[in-house]
Amino acid sequence: MRGESAFQRLKRKLGERGFSPSSLMGQNFLVDANLLRSIAGTFALGAEDLVVEIGPGPGSLTRELLATGAEVLAFELDPRLGAFLIEEAAGWEHGDRLWLVLGDILERGRLSPRLFEELSARGAPPRPYTLMSNLPYSVAGPVLANLGLCGAPPARVACLVQWEMGRRLAAAPGTKEYGPLGILVQAAFEAKIQKRVSPQVFRPRPKVDSALVTLRLREGARLLGWAPERREAFGRFLRRLFAARRKALRNGLKGLGWSGLGLSSAELNRRPEQLGVEELLGLFHRGFVEEGLDV
Ligand code: SAM
C-alpha cells in the first residue's frame, strides 16, 4: 500500500497470515529503522563477512545485514516466520546471500551442533564470523554463556539483550551484577554496553529496557586454548563457587572439596565476587590442572 512505513507493511502482511507474536519465543520485533541501521553498521560489514543471526524473525535486521553485502546464516525457531522470511528475502538486495536454518539455536542447553556444521561448510573456523542478534530473552543467557566455551567462538558480537543481562555481561568484580555469566563471557571477550535501548523501539513492547552489547574476542585468551572438558569444568567451578558468592573463598573451596590451594589466610578470606576474571582462571587452573582436583 502506498504511504505505508516498513513497519506498517510488515504488520499488515503478518496480519494477513493471522500471525500473532509469541511471548514464549521472545518475539519482540525491532521497528525503529534508525536503530536497525545503526546495529547493522556496528562493525562495517562487507562482502567478505560471514554473519550468524539468531532469531531473524520477519527479517528487519536481516535485510540491513544483507544490504552490507555480507553472507548471513540465520537460525529461526518459528516456522511461520521462517516461511515469511524466505518469501520476503527473495525481493531484497543480496537476498541470495541468506541461508536460513529452521530450528532451535540450542540443543540440551548448548549451541546446536547444526550451527557448527553450517559454519564449517562456510570455512569457519579458520574464517572468522560475526554474531548479530536481537536475542530472544528466553535463550540469551545460555547462548552467551556458551560462546566462549564452544570451541568456535565468533570474532565479534553485537546483540540486544535485556538491560539487566547487559549489566551482567560487562560487570566488574565487586558489583552485584558480577557472576558466572559475565565471567565466562569476559574470559573470552571484551564486553561493552554500547547503548541503552527503550521498549518503544519494539513491537510488542517489552516491559524493560534493553542493552546493545558488543563482544570482541580476546585473541590468546587462556580459556580459548583449553580443551573442551577443561572449559566446561571452569563453568561448573564458577557456578559452584558463586553459589556462596558473599561467603569467604575458603568456604566455597571447601564445598568443592578443594581445600586451601596453597592460598594465604588473607586470600582465603576474600569473597568469590571480589576476584577478577584472570584470578578466577588462575585459581581454577591451580586446582583442576596442577592439583588434579575435580569439579
Ligand atoms: N530479529 C528480529 C527483530 O529484531 O525484529 C526478531 C527478534 S525477536 C526478539 C527473537 C526471534 O528469535 C524471534 O523470531 C523468535 O521466533 C526467535 N527465536 C526464539 N527462540 C529461538 C531459538 N531457541 N532458536 C532460534 N530462534 C529463536
Q: Each residue of 56-71: pLDDT tens digit?
A: 999 999 999 999 999 9
User: In 3D, which of 55, 28, 184, 30 has the Cα closest to residue 112?
Assistant: 55
Q: Are residues 203 and 242 in the same domain?
A: no
Last residue of a domain, one of 189, 224, 259: 224
Evaluate: CB of 14 within 6 angstroms of ligand 1: no
How much of the chain, in percent, has pLDDT values that exceed 70? 99
Domain count, the chain: 2
Q: Are residues 140 and 283 in the same domain?
A: no
Q: Are residues 88 and 31 in the same domain?
A: yes
Q: Which atom of ligand 1 is found nearest the CA of 75?
A: 25
Mean pLDDT, to the nearest integer, of 59-87?
Answer: 97
Cα-to-centroid distance, 228 and ligand 1 (Å): 28
The residue whose CA is least distant from atom 3 of ligand 1 is 29
Cα-to-centroid distance, 1 and ligand 1 (Å): 27
Q: Which atom of ligand 1 is found nearest the CA of 58?
A: 2
Last residue of a domain, one of 172, 206, 224: 224
Q: Which atom of ligand 1 is found nearest the CA of 105?
A: 24
What is the rounded CA–CA span in Å between residue 167 and residue 165?
A: 5
What is the rounded CA–CA span in Å between residue 259 and residue 250?
A: 7
The residue whose CA is least distant from atom 22 of ligand 1 is 104
Cα-to-centroid distance, 133 and ligand 1 (Å): 8
pLDDT at 7: 82
Half-sphere exposure of 234 (CA within 13 A, CB side): 32
pLDDT at 9: 87
The domain of 272 spans 228-290
What's the CATH code of the domain at 26?
3.40.50.150
How much of the chain, in percent, has pLDDT values that exceed 90? 88
Asked, for residue 1, whether it belongs to a domain, the answer is no
Q: Are residues 193 and 112 in the same domain?
A: yes
On whether the CB atoms of residues 188 and 224 are closer than 8 A, the answer is yes
What's the CATH code of the domain at 238?
1.10.8
Q: Is the pLDDT of residue 32 over 70?
A: yes
Give the pLDDT confidence of 212-269 residue by residue, as tens digits.
999 999 989 999 999 999 999 999 999 999 998 888 999 999 889 897 688 889 999 9
In the block, residue with C-alpha cell 571447601: 254
pLDDT at 209: 98
Evaluate: CB of 210 within 6 angstroms of ligand 1: no
Q: Are residues 211 and 257 in the same domain?
A: no
Q: Are residues 112 and 239 in the same domain?
A: no
Q: Are residues 234 and 215 in the same domain?
A: no
Last residue of a domain, one of 173, 197, 224: 224
Q: Which atom of ligand 1 is found nearest the CA of 56?
A: 1
Q: Are residues 49 and 134 in the same domain?
A: yes
Give the pLDDT confidence of 45-57 residue by residue, as tens digits.
999 999 999 999 9
Evaluate: CB of 75 within 6 angstroms of ligand 1: yes
Q: Are residues 198 and 280 in the same domain?
A: no
Tell me which DSSP letter residue 221 carries: -
Evaluate: CB of 84 within 6 angstroms of ligand 1: no
pLDDT at 150: 93
Q: Are residues 146 and 233 in the same domain?
A: no
* Whole-number Cα distances in Å, 188 to 43, 120, 125, 277: 19, 21, 16, 10
pLDDT at 263: 87
Q: Are residues 192 and 270 in the same domain?
A: no
**Cβ contacts of residue 9 below 8 Å, gap of 6+?**
1
Cα-to-centroid distance, 157 and ligand 1 (Å): 16
Evaluate: CB of 33 within 6 angstroms of ligand 1: no
What is the rounded CA–CA span in Å between residue 287 and residue 295?
A: 9
Torsion of CA 110, 116, 117, 123, to 10 degrees: 180
With cut-offs at 50, 70 and 90, classify the pLDDT of residue 1: low
pLDDT at 244: 84
The residue whose CA is least distant from atom 19 of ligand 1 is 25
Q: Is the pLDDT of residue 202 over 70?
A: yes
Give the pLDDT confidence of 253-262 residue by residue, as tens digits.
988 989 768 8
